[in-house]
Structure 1
């Protein structure tokens, strides 16, 4: 008999305090029901804020909730629309990873810009961002 090498092991952890211990063991992928639930609730709450002025289209908390990946809408009032990214003073610990412009995905460089109507994926350790305006220092 041949061993099936495509088997994946997923370990469910109920207590986050055990997560560090389990990561040292050869148990495959680890999921935490508490973290999944917390991420879902946080994403839902932040997305509900859209109706009261937030530009967050999606939110994911990663790396034990130390990092947030957000999808932010670039609205009509974004004063830096058309400005090259290299000329923007982006806040510390924040990375613009992707620009979605009318369905075309752009991997941004310094000469790219954010335009009205764009959707931007930002990864940051700064918690609670609700707007594309908040990633640029004035």
Structure 2
């Protein structure tokens, strides 16, 4: 499956890709998302909230150099735009929260994607797929499983 472009990326995409742990997810992201970004075949965006969420564990562990590396890795990705919170995104996040039980963070991610004109939102949070967002929410595990079945 080809991904819609521009695609908005949830923080968990960066966690799987940069912090290792899950090789299937990380490998899929490296191949399908980050390699496509580097080649200019895909455009992506993420909320600046991703930086705060991604760096928290490194800072909690006192690993300032790891936090700096992670931040540089995100900021250095070609064809990836970081979108900051503004009044329109805040308003849309409030509307999403008012219509559901989304956390503020999840609402900000979805609202950022919508307001920035993303064609889809890639996450591994299955609950977000059932939320009242005005864009396609793609679940990473489903995409990895689809590709795995095709490869057999």
Q: Which one has a larger percent strand, Structure 1 or Structure 2? A: 1
Kindly name which structure, 1 or 2, has the bigger radius of gyration based on alpha carbons. 1
| Structure in which a larger fraction of residues adopt helix | 2
Q: Give the number of the structure with larger relative contact order, counting CA–CA contacts within 8 Å between residues 6 or more apart.
A: 2
- What is the TM-score of this pair, normalised by structure 1? 0.25
Q: TM-score, normalised by structure 2?
A: 0.23
